Amino acid sequence: MSRSEVAANAPKLQELLSQGLQALTAGNLEKAGGFCQKILALQPDLAPGHFLVGLVALEAKDRKTAFSAFQSVVKLDRDHVAAWAQLARLYMTEGQVNKADAALRETRRIKTDDPTVLDLIGTTLSLMGEHGVAKAFYARANTSRPNHPPFMLNLANNLVYHGDTDTADIIFRDTIKVQADTPQAHWALAGSVKATDDSHIAEMQNLLGRHKNNPRARAFYLYAIGKEFEDLQRWESAFEAFSAGAAARRKTVEYDESAEIAMFDFLGEHYTNEWFDSLPDGNLDASPIFVLGQPRTGTTLVERIISAHSQVHSAGELQQFGLALRRLSNYRNPKRFTAELFDMARTTDPNKVGSMYLQTSSRMRGDTPRFVDKLPQNYLMIPLILKALPNARIVHLVRDPMDACFASFKQLFADAYLHSYEQQEMARHHARYRRLMDIWRERFPNRIFDISYEDTARDIEPNARALLEYLDLPFEAACLEFHKQEGAVSTASAVQVREPAHTRSIGRWRRYEAQLQPMLSALEAEEIVVQ
């Protein structure tokens, strides 16, 4: 295209870009995509046009197109800092840490005060486990664009991770002052502060009425209301809110129970001792410690006990082992864990899997001799972990099934644990998990250390000593005072683990025994013993 043609088209292109962004902001992806087509038809090498394609693709959850679009942008304009920031986040979510780091270096080269870019860099650094550095970028974003709820929420959540709940609470409240109807802010505030009266509940109930056709917003408000009713020991009202919140959230997720059943059946049938013995051992590095099980069973508590040790670093909930399996098996299905993945993973080279896991997690592993990977779902991959990393240690949390199931049922998760929003689905999933763990224990004796949440909460020292002995770590008194650690915690237990171990959550489900009969009956039908 000649310079004169470019100049002639410039006003039209600016108008189309503006209209495309407006359509995207309004959530009309089809209309926004139409503007993208018109823009690139007029000027195929227009970097802002490709950037808009990338933004639309992100909203449509089309990661492949988003990658391609942002890569096109930086080829056309190497100084497009926003595209580099988007690529950094995308690479990080794919477990490609080196590429993410390279993209971040480009953002540092270019430099920027764009608050959206600063916030995005903060998010990428958080994914890397660098929450302290992320905080500085979140703070800069808020300074550059004050009173913008999304930026305020990211900074406040980061402060919660660091244990600074007082400052976080101020920001949550300020966010609500700026925009009263911000469901995430109300939910986060309820999670970090213990309610002493029902004033905030009344405020949220009023806002809830605005969202009769918005299940996502309703879920945030209802879970927050349930939590505050529980703080006030108004158990019946709490359960009503939790149950309604779970029903709302269930409308926003696609849980395929039959596919999950097929996956669990495949694991039990094919990951046998014969399969295990047919492959060579992988990477002999002894640094990884996997803490796993079901969510809300004390995995964060035990991880903090271990990482309080001077020789251990907390790497958080790493996705890297599953990502290594997906990359090395050339798995293309967008669903994270399926029978298809585990079929393809059976023939991957164990050494390559272990080595890729270690390499891609290097930014998050710290500089201590050992590190903890606390992704609960790693229990699905225990045979693959033991083969790829034969010197790794596996710590499995055990908790009363009803307490475990109810704790998940009343927790609003991000994009995982899709089974947890209906009582019977939750119970049946838990039964499948228990049966699978029984299989792993039988096939791989003495390779899995079971630790009871209840026993640890009641008497931490003997359980901590036994745990450290299994990990070949000398006892350190600091492990008994895990709650005094200053390191960031980015899980749902971020607030709870800042206090000493307690027994308040043991048997909590019994306050709701009448309402939880569907869950209890489903567990009993699966022959799961409830204490």
User: Helix, strand, or coil here: 16?
Assistant: helix
Instruction: Tell me which residue of 127, 128, 157, 129 sits closest to 139, measured CA to CA.
Output: 157
Is residue 321 in a domain?
yes
For residues 257 and 312, what is the distance between their CA atoms, to the nearest angstrom?
A: 37
- Residue 386 — very low, low, confident or very high, per pLDDT cuts 50/70/90? very high
Domain end, chosen from 55, 77, 99, is at 77
Instruction: Tell me which residue of 326, 474, 449 sits closest to 392, measured CA to CA.
Output: 449
pLDDT of residue 495: 53
Is residue 505 in a domain?
yes
Is a pLDDT exceeding 80 seen at residue 487? no
Segments forming the whole domain that contains residue 71: 1-77
Is residue 118 in a domain?
no
Domain end, chosen from 25, 60, 77, is at 77
Is residue 274 in a domain?
yes
Own/partner contacts of 193-201, CB < 8 Å, gap of 24 or more, are: 193/165, 193/169, 194/231, 195/227, 195/228, 195/231, 195/232, 196/231, 196/232, 197/232, 198/228, 198/229, 198/232, 200/228, 201/225, 201/228, 201/229
- Residue 483 — very low, low, confident or very high, per pLDDT cuts 50/70/90? confident
Q: Which of 171-175, 283-287, 489-493, 501-505 shows the lowest per-residue confidence on average (mean pLDDT)?
A: 489-493
CA distances from 64 to 70, 275, 335 (A): 10, 34, 14
Is residue 291 in a domain?
yes
What's 325's domain CATH number?
3.40.50.300
- Residue 5 — very low, low, confident or very high, per pLDDT cuts 50/70/90? low
Of all residues in the chain, what percent carry a pLDDT higher than 70?
95
What's 19's domain CATH number?
1.25.40.10
Is residue 180 in a domain?
no
pLDDT digits (tens, 9 = 90+) for 316-341: 899 899 999 999 999 988 888 999 99
- Residue 373 — very low, low, confident or very high, per pLDDT cuts 50/70/90? very high
pLDDT digits (tens, 9 = 90+) for 26-75: 889 999 899 899 999 989 999 999 999 999 999 998 999 999 999 999 99
Is residue 45 in a domain?
yes
**Angle at the Cα of 362 from the Cα atoms of 357 and 364, rounded to 5 degrees:** 105
Is residue 112 in a domain?
no
Task: Judge contact between 135 and 490, C-beta under 8 A.
Answer: no
pLDDT digits (tens, 9 = 90+) for 130-161: 888 999 999 999 999 999 999 999 999 999 88
Question: Tell me, what amino acid is at 79?
Answer: D
For residues 492 and 488, what is the distance between their CA atoms, to the nearest angstrom?
A: 12
Predicted model pTM: 0.90
Domain end, chosen from 51, 77, 103, is at 77
For residues 212 and 222, what is the distance between their CA atoms, to the nearest angstrom?
A: 12
- Backbone region of residue 446 per phi and psi (left: phi > 0; alpha: psi in -120 to 50; beta: other values): left
| Number of domains forming the structure of the chain | 2
